[in-house]
Chains A and B, each alone.
Chain A
Amino acid sequence: SQQGEEDPQALSIQEGENATMNCSYKTSINNLQWYRQNSGRGLVHLILIRSNEREKHSGRLRVTLDTSKKSSSLLITASRAADTASYFCATEEYIRGSRLTFGEGTQLTVNP
């Protein structure tokens, strides 16, 4: 079952604009991660934010986490055509081992 729900399901913007994707989850988490996937291939890890962190930056990426609302957002600033991809949030749980539970993703299209 999918714990995370991404919003919106699809987003189309122009190059140079900012893109914001949101993720909601249901259970307590240890951390939340964002991944990018190009054309149905492997996932590329973008950023990890721990449950005791509220905001994190990495280059043009900014992630926020609100554990009281069980939600996170990913902001991509000054988007480029190369940012076109599917973006997934994933929550990590420790049940004997570690497992990621993914949402269904946001398809981002950046038009040149």
Chain B
Amino acid sequence: DAGVTQSPTHLIKTRGQQVTLRCSPISGHKSVSWYQQVLGQGPQFIFQYYEKEERGRGNFPDRFSARQFPNYSSELNVNALLLGDSALYLCASSLSGFRGRGTDTQYFGPGTRLTVL
């Protein structure tokens, strides 16, 4: 079975531009989460979506937005890019992401490397 896939692999943008990153979860997984990993640090939680609804949001500005589609794939949008947005953006999928539904291991994709110049 295919794992979590993300596109594009690499992206170079300039300050002020907008970017859209895409993620396809593992077949059967209904929850998608997004994480930002700045070089040298651990990933930081941005969003979780389940059944097309936002279920959690990390400490990120409103320039960051996301959505989930009926097929459970997801997009992360970042507007008005800043140099500090340069990072590896990771998508993770899990079965449900809810307490009481058993072990919800999150499986990560390979990431999208965003460079803002």
Contacts and interface: CB of A to CB of B under 8 A. Distances in A.
A44 to B, nearest CB: 7
Interface residues on B, range: 35 or more
Q: Is the interface of A mostly helix, strand, loop or mixed?
A: strand
Nearest to B96: A98
Nearest to A30: B99
B45 A101 contact: yes
Given A48-B105, A98-B48, A98-B97, A41 B110 contact: yes
Contacts of B109: 42
A102 interface: yes
Contact of A104 (B35, B42, B94): B42
Q: Which of A31, A92, A94, A97 has the most CB of B within 10 A?
A: A97
A104 B99 CA distance: 25
Contacts, number: 84
Contacts of A90: 42
Interface in B51-68: 55-56, 58-59
A79 B37 CA distance: 27
Nearest to B40: A104
Interface in A40-64: 40-45, 48, 50
B33 A99 contact: yes
Interface string A80-96: 00000000101010111
A102 B43 contact: yes
Contacts of A48: 103, 105
Contacts of B113: 40
Given A2-B41, A100-B45, A105-B42, 7 more contacts: A40-B39, A40-B113, A42-B111, A88-B42, A92-B104, A98-B31, A105-B41
6 contacts: A42-B109, A42-B110, A45-B106, A45-B108, A48-B105, A98-B98
Which 7 residue pairs of A and B lie closest in terms of their CB atoms, listed nearest first?
A: A97-B55, A102-B42, A97-B56, A98-B97, A43-B108, A42-B110, A94-B99
